[in-house]
């Protein structure tokens, strides 16, 4: 496997220079690998993982998870509708699911009203959407692998040990 | 008030030298709060995987707070046998050939106490873990250091062993892969050592605590070689591979009569290992292997990084085949290992351990533990490079 992709999968949060050291190659090699991964649409971009509940100045965002039932189309299945829904800026993620509903849609908005309006005006009115069931998120405990409330205590290893 | 309280300390304890590591620990402790990067540790930087910690919590919730059998929980001994059979190719009866101990350190102490008469001779390769020689001295036995060399990647050779051997030698202590050198033996080298042990009728104590962290080739246990299980105490534990140092849990496997002798000492001193740690150990053996492999992969890459950097900097460093220690030769800096370590912590705030803390044969080397996050490791290498170049 592409060694740079391996490091990205591990989420080890390294600069290009550090990746070069770890993988034992030059920085320009790492950049070439990154470019190649972008070209192949494997590496889509960087996103920070933030806990904005700790930042008073950050605009409060309301997040919701919406279960959406849709009618599959002949020839296209769920893909065309899923793609159409995914293109809204409010939609953070969209997944096709097995089970009682078809799409699981993660939505973000500046207020409860705005998210509710998005669901009622945009999402549920899309042709082919049969029903929606909206769950507002109350609190986050873990984001993309990061524990939000402390997690591990600071490293308490002794500095020198046998 | 007594004139001198030291008079009460036993002579052989008073005669034990202070650990070279301890001195260095004090030195680094003075720099508390400063931006120190420590490569002086002897443990993983990973916290114990959550599923193992959670199983200990669950055991507490179910009221598992009692003594266990002196030998350890039978479920754990069964799991140990299954694990050892799978990974080391040697089998032990859970009923009477496996003893659960408070870390390998206790197992080692039990072995020396159970097998050494005063004056008995114990061979051990050196540089080595700091406690081997003192543990031998504490049972009034005589330690004989067998040197290992950088030219052999610090593997113990049968030639060196044969040269150091003395009439009356009873025990050979092995630690492969080795702390502090990362040296280990190939199967062929081990076979020669095993033949020597059979010829000289030596009992082998084999501390294989770093065996899962073998990066090149596969680890062979001397206990698995023909005719060796009957004269080998296999010592292992959870500290390194499963990142469980603070749990203090290890084990010894061997012939029933020898395990029984160790058990005698254990039952009158320790009684049993902590039941919580034993419960956690069961979980580690049954479901912990994926994490061991993940951690090993990280150590492997870090080893490649630090060894490459040391050699680029001009500190000749052999490739440690296992463990998480690099043991570079620092003589090109013009400093002794002690001066190098003290000046490095002073000038660049990087802690390494002078090689002589692991015996006289560690002269000219320092131990650098690479169980540290990439960014810290890279920064430490940059600082060492600056330090070495300023010296030239």
- Per domain, the residue ranges of chain A are 3-39, 53-139
Contact B374 A162 (CB under 8 A): no
- 3-state SS assignment for residue B354: strand
- 3-state SS assignment for residue B203: strand
Contact B374 A22 (CB under 8 A): yes
Contact B158, B198 (CB under 8 A): no
Whole-prediction pTM? 0.90
Beta partners for residue B124, in sequence order:
B145, B173
Alpha helices in B222-273 (DSSP H): 256-269
All residues of chain B having their beta carbon less than 8 Å from the beta carbon of residue A23 are 301
B1 has a pLDDT exceeding 70: no
Q: How far apart are CA B226 and CA B231, in angstroms?
A: 11
Nearest to A84 by CA among A132, A129, A40, A133: A129
- 3-state SS assignment for residue B233: strand
CATH number for the domain whose boundaries are A53-139: 3.30.70.920
Within 10 angstroms of residue B35's Cβ, the number of other Cβ atoms is: 10
Best CATH choice for the domain B51-288 from the list 3.40.50.1820, 1.10.357.10, 3.40.640.10, 3.30.300.130: 3.40.640.10
Q: How far apart are CA A16 and CA A26, in angstroms?
A: 9
What is the pLDDT, as a whole number, of residue A148? 87
Q: Mutate one of B41, B48, B293 to test the A interface: name it (highest A CB count within 10 A).
A: B41
Contact B375, A14 (CB under 8 A): yes
Best CATH choice for the domain B5-48+291-391 from the list 3.90.1660.10, 1.10.580.10, 3.20.10.10, 3.90.1150.10: 3.90.1150.10
Contact A159 B29 (CB under 8 A): yes
Nearest neighbour of B38 by CB, restricted to A14, A23, A160: A160
Percent of chain A with pLDDT over 70: 99
Alpha helices in A24-145 (DSSP H): 27-39, 79-86, 112-117
Average pLDDT of every residue of chain B: 96
> Domain boundaries in chain B?
5-48+291-391, 51-288
Model confidence pLDDT, tens digit, residues B97-134: 999 999 999 999 999 999 999 999 999 999 999 999 99
Contact A159 B40 (CB under 8 A): yes
Nearest to A106 by CA among A115, A98, A114, A121: A115
Nearest neighbour of B351 by CB, restricted to A14, A18, A159: A159
All residues of chain B having their beta carbon less than 8 Å from the beta carbon of residue A18 are 374-375, 378
Which residues of chain A register pLDDT less than 70? 154
Model confidence pLDDT, tens digit, residues B247-266: 999 999 999 999 999 999 99
Contact A12 B374 (CB under 8 A): yes
All residues of chain B having their beta carbon less than 8 Å from the beta carbon of residue A24 are 304-305, 308
| Surface-to-core class of residue B296, CB atoms within 10 Å of its CB (0-12 exposed, 13-18 middle, 19+ buried) | middle
DSSP, residue by residue, B136-179: HHHTT-EEEEEE--GGGTT---HHHHHHH--TTEEEEEEESSPT
């Amino acid at each position: 496997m592409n060694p740079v992709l391996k490091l990205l999968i591990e989420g080890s949060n390294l600069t290009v220079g550090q990746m070069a050291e770890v993988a034992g190659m030059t920085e320009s090699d790492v950049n070439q690998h990154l470019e190649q991964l972008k070209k192949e649409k494997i590496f889509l971009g960087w996103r920070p993982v933030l806990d904005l509940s700790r930042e008073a100045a950050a605009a409060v965002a309301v997040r919701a998870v919406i279960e959406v039932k849709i009618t599959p189309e002949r020839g296209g299945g769920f893909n065309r509708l899923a793609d159409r829904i995914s293109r809204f800026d409010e939609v953070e993620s969209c997944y096709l699911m097995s089970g009682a509903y078809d799409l699981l849609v993660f939505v973000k908005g500046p207020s409860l009203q705005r998210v509710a309006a998005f669901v009622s005006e945009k999402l549920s009115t899309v042709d082919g959407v049969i029903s929606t069931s909206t769950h507002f998120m109350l609190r986050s405990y873990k984001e993309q692998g990061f524990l939000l409330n402390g997690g591990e205590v600071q490293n308490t290893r002794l500095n020198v040990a046998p | 008030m007594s004139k001198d309280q030291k008079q009460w300390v036993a002579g052989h304890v008073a005669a034990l030298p202070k650990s070279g590591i301890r001195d260095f620990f004090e030195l680094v402790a003075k720099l508390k709060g400063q931006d120190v990067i420590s490569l002086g540790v002897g443990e993983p930087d990973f916290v114990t995987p959550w599923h193992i910690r959670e199983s200990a919590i669950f055991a507490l919730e179910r009221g598992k707070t009692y003594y266990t059998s002196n030998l350890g929980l039978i479920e754990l001994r069964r799991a140990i046998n299954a694990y050892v059979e799978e990974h080391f190719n040697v089998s032990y009866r859970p009923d009477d050939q496996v003893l659960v101990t408070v870390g390998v350190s206790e197992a080692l102490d039990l072995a020396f106490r159970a097998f050494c008469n005063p004056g008995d001779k114990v061979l051990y390769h050196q540089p080595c873990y700091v406690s081997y020689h003192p543990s031998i001295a504490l049972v009034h036995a005589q330690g004989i250091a067998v040197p290992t060399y950088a030219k052999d990647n610090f593997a113990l050779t049968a030639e060196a062993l044969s040269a150091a051997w003395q009439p009356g030698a009873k025990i050979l202590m092995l630690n492969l892969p080795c702390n502090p050198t990362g040296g280990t033996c190939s199967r062929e080298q081990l076979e020669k050592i095993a033949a020597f042990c059979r010829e000289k009728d030596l009992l082998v104590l084999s501390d294989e605590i770093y065996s899962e962290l073998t990066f090149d080739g596969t680890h062979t246990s001397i206990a698995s070689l023909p005719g060796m299980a009957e004269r080998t105490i296999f010592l292992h534990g959870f500290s390194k591979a499963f990142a469980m140092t603070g749990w203090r849990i290890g084990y010894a496997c061997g012939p029933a009569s020898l395990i029984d002798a160790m058990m005698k000492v254990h039952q009158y001193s320790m009684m049993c290992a902590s039941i919580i740690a034993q419960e956690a150990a069961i979980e580690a053996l049954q479901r912990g292997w994926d994490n061991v492999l993940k951690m090993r992969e990280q150590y492997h890459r870090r080893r490649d990084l630090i060894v490459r950097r040391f050699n680029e900097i001009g500190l000749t460093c052999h490739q440690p085949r296992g463990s998480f220690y690099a043991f570079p030769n620092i003589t090109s800096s013009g400093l002794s290992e002690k001066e190098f370590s003290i000046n490095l912590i002073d000038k660049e705030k990087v802690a390494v351990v002078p090689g002589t803390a692991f015996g006289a044969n560690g002269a000219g080397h320092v131990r650098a533990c690479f169980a540290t996050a990439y960014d810290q490791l890279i920064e430490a290498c940059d600082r060492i490079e600056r330090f070495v170049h300023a010296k030239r």
